[in-house]
């Protein structure tokens, strides 16, 4: 694995649609200093203020540019009303997860015709700031055949963000203009971007959760980005096959000596004994499981068991948001999370009937709702990150977030490419 180089460069970032802060944490961990956040949802804004940002009113004029060590400003409100001109040529990476409802099955999937489509706002921010790189995360639904023509349009629009869509033009009209310009190559390198997208499963990046998403990355053309370096750094490092191997060898169970022989035997009945190696032939680490998350990964301590399902806050072992919740149900088609698999996709819970995503099956055969803290663990949020609002709002923020370890893998690779671009100049 190529390590990110360490240059004495003050790397900066801006994040739109910041939500509860998953991608914000990831980008900052990769070495970028945040200059600005924007978010609309009230509770998510409260979370950002509680942890790392200072609220700045939309009508208060241009926010201050924070110095090293300062808390960045958070503009709460409609992104369409935010002026980014003051950040021109000051931003290394613009990051964000534009609202995914226009492209998700649960959100009716209206795509370009949905006013919640956040991509036009990302493109305006790029025109205003001209960042060196862009990171977008979104649902895998963007890659469905029915949306693929529009997704290709998004990529072309990101390639040429300064070529604006004329008033009255449809997206297909604009798409034809962009296609023509890209085919001729007659584009100012300082105003064009090289764009690639990556379908990912967060479990392949050390996240104890099955979460299929698409990551879109762009570098400004005049940087001559080293895509080989980038793709080497974002290659998956974890696999299901390695989890099965670790279970068969006993290595997995050595991490969980508290699990009885009877339970191990029950789990192993469903584990294949002959496991195909991941494509590519490289060594991978085992997928992390829900049991791993509760036990603690990356130095986190073990979460205590839940003994009461009464909605009462108890600071057991110093943990917050680790509260038992009653009335969990499982039924055909809505099965719970299993401890010895990665958790199911954490969802925002704003539509439809939950499919067991927040219910877990325990070793004794009973089941219960996952606590907010357990859910935060499978999103790889640190325990000290405080989420604002009642339980439902906290779970909504987690379901809308980018898992920190997934975001960090891509933000770290962006940082390394930018460092190399500086070195070769």
Same domain, 104 and 180: yes
Same domain, 57 and 153: yes
Residues catalogued as catalytic = 100
- Under the banding of pLDDT at 50, 70 and 90, the label for residue 372 is very high
- Residue 365 lies in domain: 239-400
Whether 7 maps to a domain, the answer reads no
**Domain shared by 246 and 207, yes or no:** no
pLDDT digits (tens, 9 = 90+) for 74-109: 999 999 999 999 999 999 999 998 875 545 444 433
What CATH number is given to the structural domain containing 227?
Answer: 3.40.50.150
- Give burial (CB, 10 Å; 0-12/13-18/19+) of 256: middle
Residue percentage of the chain with pLDDT more than 90 = 75
Mean pLDDT across the stretch 122-146? 94
The whole-number average pLDDT for the span 222-247 is 96
- Quote the number of domains for the chain: 2
Cβ–Cβ under 8 Å, residues 348 and 399: yes
What pLDDT is stored for residue 128 in this prediction? Answer: 96
pLDDT value, residue 182: 94
70 and 118 in a single domain? The answer is: yes
- Dihedral of alpha carbons 157, 160, 165, 169, sign: negative
pLDDT at 190: 86
Q: How confident is the model at residue 4 (pLDDT cuts 50, 70, 90)?
A: very low
pLDDT at residue 332, rounded to an integer:
82
Least confident segment among 132-136, 215-219, 324-328, 375-379: 324-328
Q: Going by DSSP bridges, is the β-strand pair 359-361/367-369 parallel, antiparallel, or unpaired?
A: antiparallel
Which one has a higher pLDDT value, 267 or 352? 267
Same domain for 136 and 217, yes or no, is: yes
Are 361 and 336 members of one domain? yes
Q: Is the pLDDT of residue 355 over 60?
A: no
Tell me whether residue 6 is in a domain: no
pLDDT bucket at 64, cuts 50 / 70 / 90: very high
Residues 48 and 143 occupy one common structural domain: yes
pLDDT at 312 exceeding the cut of 60: yes
Lowest mean pLDDT among 38-42, 89-93, 187-191, 219-223: 187-191
How far is residue 223 CA from its own chain's centroid?
A: 25
pLDDT band of 132, cuts 50, 70, 90: very high
Tell me, yes or no, whether 246 lies in a domain: yes
Residues 177 and 73 in one domain: yes
pLDDT at 6 over 70: no
Mean pLDDT of 254-270: 96
> Bigger pLDDT: 119 or 136?
136
The string of DSSP codes covering 128-187 is HH--SEEEEEEEGGGGSTTTHHHHHHHHHHHHSTTSPPPTT--HHHHHHHHHHHHHHT--
pLDDT at 221 over 90: yes
- pLDDT higher at 275 or 216: 216
Residue 110, pLDDT above cutoff 50: no
User: Is the pLDDT reported for residue 2 higher than 50?
Assistant: no
Q: Give yes or no: residues 51 and 147 share one domain.
A: yes
Residues 224, 112 share a domain? yes
4 assigned to some structural domain: no
161 within domain boundaries: yes
Q: 2 lies in a domain?
A: no
Distance CA 126, CA 132 (A): 9
Would 36 be classed as within a structural domain?
Answer: yes
Residue 312 or residue 26, greater confidence: 26
Dihedral Cα 297, 300, 306, 307, nearest 10 deg: 130
Nearest to 404 by CA among 1, 132, 143, 24: 24
Is 15:27 a contact under the CB 8 Å cutoff?
yes
Separation of alpha carbons 43 and 399, rounded Å? 14
Place of tokens 């969802």: 347
Tens of pLDDT, residues 148-167: 998 999 999 999 999 999 99
What pLDDT, in 10s, does the model give residues 243-253?
999 999 999 99
Which band of pLDDT confidence, cut at 50, 70 and 90, is reported for residue 270?
very high
pLDDT of residue 280: 60
Task: Please tell me whether residues 300 and 349 are part of one structural domain.
Answer: yes
Question: Quick check: 105 and 144 in contact, CB under 8 A?
Answer: no
Q: What is the mean pLDDT of residues 322-341?
A: 90
CA atoms of 68 and 65, how far apart (whole Å)? 10
pLDDT bucket at 5, cuts 50 / 70 / 90: very low
| pLDDT cut 70: percent of the chain above it | 90
Average pLDDT over residues 295-300: 94
Burial 25-36 (b: 16+ CB within 10 A, else e): bbbbebbbbbbb
Same domain, 95 and 186: yes
pLDDT band for position 199 (cuts 50, 70, 90): very high
Long-range contacts at 5-9 (CB < 8 A, ≥ 24 apart): 5/416, 5/419, 5/420, 5/423, 6/419, 7/419, 7/422, 7/423, 9/419, 9/422
Mean pLDDT (the chain) is: 90
Q: What is the CATH classification number for the domain harbouring 371? A: 3.90.120
Whether 1 is in a domain gets the answer no
Phi-psi region of 133 (alpha: psi -120 to 50; beta: other; left: phi over 0): beta
């Amino acid at each position: 694995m190529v390590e990110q180089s360490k240059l004495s460069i003050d790397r900066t970032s801006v994040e739109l649609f910041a939500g509860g802060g998953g991608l914000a944490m990831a980008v900052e961990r990769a070495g970028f200093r945040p200059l600005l956040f924007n978010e609309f949802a009230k509770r998510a804004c409260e979370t950002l203020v509680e942890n790392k940002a200072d609220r700045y009113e939309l009508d208060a004029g241009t926010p201050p540019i924070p110095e090293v060590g300062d808390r960045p400003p958070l503009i709460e409100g409609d992104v369409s009303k935010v002026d980014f001109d003051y950040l021109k040529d000051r931003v290394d990476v613009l990051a964000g997860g534009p609202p995914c409802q226009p492209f998700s099955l649960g959100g009716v999937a209206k795509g370009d015709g949905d006013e919640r489509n956040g991509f036009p706002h990302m493109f305006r921010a790029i025109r205003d700031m001209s960042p060196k790189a862009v990171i977008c995360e979104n649902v895998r639904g963007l890659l469905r055949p029915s949306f693929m023509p529009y997704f290709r349009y998004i990529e072309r629009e990101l390639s040429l963000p300064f070529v604006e869509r004329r008033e009255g033009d449809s997206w297909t009209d604009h798409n034809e203009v962009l296609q023509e310009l890209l085919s001729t190559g007659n584009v100012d390198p300082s105003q064009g971007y090289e764009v690639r997208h990556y379908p990912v499963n967060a479990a392949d990046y050390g996240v104890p959760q099955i979460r299929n998403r698409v990551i879109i990355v762009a570098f400004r053309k005049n940087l001559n980005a080293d895509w080989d370096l980038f793709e080497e750094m974002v290659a998956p490092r974890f696999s299901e096959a390695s989890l099965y191997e670790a279970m068969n060898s006993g290595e997995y169970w050595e991490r969980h000596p508290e699990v009885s022989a009877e339970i191990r035997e029950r789990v192993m009945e469903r584990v294949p004994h002959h496991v195909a190696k991941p494509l590519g032939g490289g060594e991978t680490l085992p997928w992390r499981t829900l049991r791993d998350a509760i036990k603690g990964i990356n130095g986190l301590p073990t979460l205590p068991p839940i003994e009461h399902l009464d909605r009462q806050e108890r600071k057991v072992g110093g943990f917050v948001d680790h509260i038992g919740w009653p009335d969990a149900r499982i039924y055909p088609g809505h099965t719970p999370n299993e401890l010895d698999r990665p958790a199911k996709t954490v969802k925002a819970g704003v539509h439809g009937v939950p499919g067991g995503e927040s219910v877990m099956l325990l070793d004794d055969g009973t089941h219960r709702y996952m606590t907010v803290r357990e859910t935060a663990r499978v999103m790889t949020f640190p325990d000290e990150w405080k989420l604002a609002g009642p339980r439902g709002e906290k779970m909504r923020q987690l379901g809308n977030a980018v898992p920190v370890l997934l975001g960090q893998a891509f933000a770290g690779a962006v940082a390394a490419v930018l460092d190399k671009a500086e070195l070769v100049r």
